[in-house]
A and B are shown apart, each in its own frame.
Chain A
Amino acid sequence: MLEIKNLSASIVDKEILKGVDLTVPDGEIHAIMGPNGAGKSTLSYVLSGREGYEVTGGAVTYNGRDLLAMEPEARAAAGVFLAFQYPVELPGVGNANFIRTALNAVRRTRGEAELDAVAFLKLARAAIKDLHMPDDMLKRNVNVGFSGGEKKRNEVLQMALLKPGLAILDETDSGLDIDALKIVADGVNAARSKNFSALVITHYQRLLDHIVPDRVHVLAAGRIVRSGGPELALELEAHGYAGLEAA
Chain B
Amino acid sequence: MTALPTRKLEAWRYTDLRALAAISFAEPAPVVVQVDLPDLGIPRIVFVNGAYEEALSTPPSFCAGFAAVAEASSFPLAKINAEHARDGVTLVVPEGLDAGAVLLVSYASAEMPIAFHPRHRITLGVGAKLTVVEVAMGQGVYWHNPVTDIAVHENATLAHYRLQDEGPESFHLATIRAKIAAGAAYESFSAVIGAKLSRAEFHATLMGPGGKTHLNAAQLLGGHQHGDFTSIVAHDAPSCASRQTVKSVLDGHARGVFQGRIEVARAAQKTDGYQMNQALLLSDTAEIDIKPELEIFADDVKCSHGATIGALDPEQVFYLRSRGIPEGQARAMLIRAFLNEALEPVTHEGARALFETAIENWWARK
Q: Which of A73, A81, A98, A158 has the most CB of B within 10 A?
A: A73
Q: Among A3-11, A43-51, A234-242, which stretch is in contact with chain B?
A: A43-51
Q: Write out the residue numbers on chain A whose beta carbons fall within 8 Å of the beta carbon of B326.
A: 73, 105
For A, the interface residue count at a CB cutoff of 8 angstroms equals 29
CB-nearest residue of chain B to A158: B323
Q: Write out the residue numbers on chain A whose beta carbons fall within 8 Å of the beta carbon of B330.
A: 73
Contact B324 A50, beta carbon cutoff 8 Å: no
- Report B99-117 CB contacts with A as 1/0, cut-off 8 Å: 0000000000000000000
> Nearest-CB distance from B245 to chain A (Å)?
12
CA gap between A109 and B337 in the complex, in Å? 25
Interface of B is mostly: helix
**Among the listed A49, A91, A103, which residue makes an inter-chain contact with B322, where contact means beta carbons less than 8 Å apart?**
A49
CA gap between A82 and B319 in the complex, in Å? 9
> Nearest-CB distance from B349 to chain A (Å)?
16
Q: Does B340 contact A (CB under 8 A)?
A: yes
Contact B322 A77, beta carbon cutoff 8 Å: no
Q: Write out the residue numbers on chain B whose beta carbons fall within 8 Å of the beta carbon of A72.
A: 318, 321-322
Q: Write out the residue numbers on chain B whose beta carbons fall within 8 Å of the beta carbon of A82.
A: 322
Are A93 and B325 CB-contacts (below 8 A) given A88-B315, A88-B316?
Answer: no
CA gap between A88 and B341 in the complex, in Å? 20
Q: Does B347 contact A (CB under 8 A)?
A: no
Q: Write out the residue numbers on chain A whose beta carbons fall within 8 Å of the beta carbon of B321.
A: 49, 71-73, 76
Are A90 and B319 CB-contacts (below 8 A) given A77-B324, A102-B325, A105-B325?
Answer: yes
Residues of A96-115 at the interface with B, using a CB-CB cut-off of 8 Å, are: 98-99, 101-103, 105-106, 109
CB-nearest residue of chain B to A72: B321
Residues of A103-129 at the interface with B, using a CB-CB cut-off of 8 Å, are: 103, 105-106, 109
Residues of B308-366 at the interface with A, using a CB-CB cut-off of 8 Å, are: 314-316, 318-327, 329-330, 333-334, 336-341
Q: Write out the residue numbers on chain B whose beta carbons fall within 8 Å of the beta carbon of A101.
A: 325, 329, 333
Contact A93 B322, beta carbon cutoff 8 Å: no
Band of interface residues on B: 20 to 34
Contact B334 A90, beta carbon cutoff 8 Å: yes
Q: Write out the residue numbers on chain A whose beta carbons fall within 8 Å of the beta carbon of B340.
A: 92
> Nearest-CB distance from B111 to chain A (Å)?
43
> Nearest-CB distance from A168 to chain B (Å)?
10
Q: Does A87 contact B (CB under 8 A)?
A: yes
Are A73 and B319 CB-contacts (below 8 A) given A93-B334, A101-B333?
Answer: no
**Among the listed B314, B316, B325, B334, which residue makes an inter-chain contact with A73, where contact means beta carbons less than 8 Å apart?**
B325
Q: Does A146 contact B (CB under 8 A)?
A: no
Are A76 and B323 CB-contacts (below 8 A) given A90-B337, A91-B337, A92-B341?
Answer: yes
Q: Write out the residue numbers on chain B whose beta carbons fall within 8 Å of the beta carbon of A109.
A: 324
**Among the listed B319, B327, B336, B341, which residue makes an inter-chain contact with A71, where contact means beta carbons less than 8 Å apart?**
B327
CA gap between A93 and B315 in the complex, in Å? 15
Provide 6 A-B residue pairs closer than 8 Å at the C-beta atoms, listed in order of the A residue: A49-B321, A73-B322, A81-B323, A88-B315, A98-B320, A102-B324
Seed contacts A73-B327, A87-B319, A101-B325; 15 additional CB < 8 Å A-B pairs? A49-B321, A49-B322, A72-B321, A73-B322, A73-B325, A76-B323, A77-B324, A84-B319, A84-B322, A88-B315, A90-B316, A93-B337, A99-B323, A105-B324, A158-B323
Residues of A within 8 A of B (CB): 48-51, 71-73, 75-77, 81-82, 84, 87-88, 90-93, 98-99, 101-103, 105-106, 109, 158, 162
